[in-house]
Amino acid sequence: MEYVYAALMLHKLKKDVTEESLSSVVKASGAEVNAAQVKSLVAALADVDIDEAVKAAPVAAAAAPAAAAAAPEGGAAEEKAEEKKDDSKSEEQAMEGLSSLFG
């Protein structure tokens, strides 16, 4: 994953994503460089328009944390606690209904 992040950072800084530059960024981050992975990623990105790939990436994963951060802290915790209580009651009621069927 660090290789992809390094490639994105190089692209954002308008630098060429080469084996040498990618290795330098990964090494500077403190991670150990795997030459095979670097070579593989550079080859895979050779014909990719990174800007278009980023635009086409799903944004649903990023939207969920943003929505959670927008909710007020106290209200969200209370709502979750109430939902859990309601869920446990309905599960208990369902189990009672099943137990009446089997004896």
Helix then strand count (H, E) for the chain reads 6, 0
Can you tell me the distance from the alpha carbon of 48 to that of 51, in angstroms, rounded to the nearest whole number? 9
Average pLDDT over residues 83-96: 60
Contact 6, 29 (CB under 8 A): yes
**Which pLDDT score is estimated for 30?**
93
Q: For 2-56, CATH number?
A: 1.10.10.1410
**Residue 31, token pair as written in the block:** 């991670």
- Residue 23's pLDDT band (boundaries 50, 70, 90)? very high
| pTM recorded for the entire structure | 0.54
The closest of 2, 71, 58 to 32, measured between CA atoms, is 2
What local confidence, expressed as pLDDT, does residue 93 receive? 64
- Which of 15-19, 23-27, 49-53, 87-91 has the lowest average pLDDT? 87-91
Domain boundaries, the chain: 2-56, 60-102
